Amino acid sequence: MSDAIRTSKELVVDPYSIPLDGNFNVAQSHLFEQNAHWAYFERLRKEAPVHFCEESEFGPYWSITRFEDIMQVDTNHKVFSSEGGITLGDQDEDFTLPMFIAMDPPKHDDQRKVVSPVVAPINLVKLESTIRARAANLLDALPVGEEIDWVDRISIELTTQMLATLFDFPFEQRRKLTRWSDVATANLEQGIIESEDQRREELIECLTTFTEIFKERQQTPGDNDLITMLAHGETTKDMLERPMEFLGNLILLIVGGNDTTRNSISGGILALNQHPDEYQKLRENPGLIASMVPEIIRWQTPLAHMRRRALEDTVIGGKTIKKGDKVVMWYVSGNRDESAIETPDKFIIDRAKPRQHLSFGFGIHRCMGNRLAEMQLRIVWEEILKRFDTVEVVGAPAYIRSPFVKGYAHLPVVLHKK
C-alpha cells in the first residue's frame, strides 16, 4: 500500500524563511500530518490575513485566517456560495454527490429541514441514557495499566455506536459506517483507498445497503431514526429516484457525525495531557465539563476549513476577491486568533465565553449536530471522570494527513484507576 512505503516524512519548511507571495501554500497535507501548520497560519494572520495562493494541488484559492473575516464570509451566503463543494478539493466530476451542505437556498433549506429534527434537543434527551449506557460499557471493558489506542478503542467505537443508533443501522455491522466515512473523506495518499474506482465501488455499496433500509422504513416506519425521516419527509420521500442525492446526504450525515466527534474525543485527552493544571482543575471540579466541552471543540477544531466560491467581486479585509474564486475559511486559524480569543493557544476549561468559536461554522450552514456532539462529549467525560484518575498519553499522537479532517489516526494511552 502506498501508505506503508511512505516512510520518510516530507521536510517542513519554516514559514518565516520563505516569501509571503502567491506561492505561500498552507493547504499541504504533510503540514497537518506533522502538526506543523500552526506557524503558517500565525504568519498569515499577522501579515496577510486575506491571502491568495496562486498555485496548489487544489488550484488557486484565497485563505481567510482571522476570526472576524471568517465570520463575514460564513454569514454571507448570497455572495459566498456552497454549490459545488465545501472543501478545498473539487468532487470527482464523474461521481458528484449532491448534499445539502453543498447547496445554496432554497434547496439547502428544504433538505436540511427534513433531517434536522432528528438531532433536535428534545430528541437528544431521549437518546441520553442510551449513549451513557454505551459509553459506560465501553469504558468498563478497557484494560487498566496497559497501553491502548484511545482512537480505536474509544473515539471511533463510541461515535460509530452513536451513528448506528441515529440511523437505526444493524448494530453488529456498525463498523461499515466508519469505513464509509473514512472512504468518503480519504485522499489517495492516505492509503485508505487505492483509487477513485475503489471509492466509488465502496460508496455504491453504502448506497445499496441504505436503499434497502429506506425501502423497509417506507413500509414499516422506525421510531425516530434518520432514514425513517427521509423516507417520509415531504421533500425527500422520493429520494430513491435521485440515488446520488440520497448517497450524498447519507455521506454528509455519516461524516458529519463521525470524524468530527471522534477527533474531539481524542483531542480532549491530548489537550488535558498537555495542560496538566487544567486536568487537575477538572478532577477537583467535574462541574467544569460544561465549559470544557466547547473549549475542546475550539481547541481541536476537527474540521480545519470550509470552502466557498464567490458569486461576485467582493472585498474582504481590503482585498478584492473575484467572482468565481475559491475562498477557504480556515476555522483552525480563526480559533487561534488572539484578536478574538484571549491566549488562544492555551486550553482553558473555564473560559468566559467558551461557545464563541468557529468550529461549528456560522450562518445557514452552521453545524446541525452541534448539540448532539456536545452531549456526546459531556457524557463521555462524565463517565471517564467517574472511573479514571488519569488517561495518560504515553506516546506521540499520529495526526491525520489532511488539510480538512483535523484529527488523530492513533493516540497511545494508559489508563490509571481512580
**Contact residues for another protein (CB under 8 A)?**
71, 74-75, 77, 105, 109, 112-113, 116-117, 120-122, 353, 355-356, 360, 362-364, 366, 368, 370-371
Phi, psi of 149, rounded to the nearest 5 degrees: -95, 110
CB nearer to another protein: give 99 or 247: 99
The answer to whether 207 touches 247, Cβ cutoff 8 Å, is: yes
Dihedral of CA atoms 187, 190, 192, 193 in degrees, nearest 10, equals 50
For the chain, give percent helix, strand, coil, nearest 5: 50, 10, 40
Q: Least distance from C-beta 116 to another protein, angstroms?
A: 6
**Nearest distance from C-beta of residue 315 to another protein, angstroms:** 19
Smallest CA-to-CA distance from 131 within 304, 257, 298, 319 is with: 257
CB of 249 to another protein, least distance (A): 16
Return the number of the residue (183 or 368) whose C-beta is nearest another protein. Answer: 368
Q: Which three cell numbers stand for residue 94?
A: 464523474
Q: Is 302 left (phi over 0), alpha (psi -120 to 50) or beta?
A: alpha
Q: CA-CA distance, 164 to 6, in Å (whole number)?
A: 34
Report residue 288 CA to chain centroid gap. Answer: 24
Least spacing, CB of residue 307 vs another protein, in Å: 18
CB of 300 to another protein, least distance (A): 17
Nearer to another protein, 112 or 351 (CB): 112
As a residue count, the chain comes to: 418
Enter the C-alpha cell of residue 350.
473555564
Pick the closer one to another protein by CB: 40 or 100. Answer: 100
Nearer to another protein, 198 or 370 (CB): 370
Amino acid letter, 23 = N
Q: Cβ of residue 161: shortest distance to another protein, in angstroms?
A: 24
At residue 411, what is the residue type? Answer: L
- As measured in angstroms, the least distance from the Cβ of 355 to another protein is 5
Find how far residue 315's CA is from the centre of its chain: 28
For another protein, the closer of residues 75 and 81 by Cβ is: 75
Q: Measured between alpha carbons, how far is 35 from 37 in angstroms, rounded to an integer?
A: 6
Alpha carbon distance 263, 259 (integer Å): 6
Nearer Cβ to another protein (154/375): 375
Nearer CB in complex with another protein: 6/355: 355
Round to whole Å and give the CA distance between 103 and 163.
Answer: 23
Residue number with CB closer to another protein (96 or 370)? 370
Q: What does the alpha-carbon distance between residue 263 and residue 222 come to, in Å, rounded to a whole number?
A: 30
Query: Which one, of 380, 387, 394, 384, lies nearest residue 417 by Cα?
Result: 387
Amino acid at 318: G
Compute the least distance from the CB of residue 378 to another protein, in Å.
15
Minimum distance of another protein from residue 362's CB (angstroms): 4
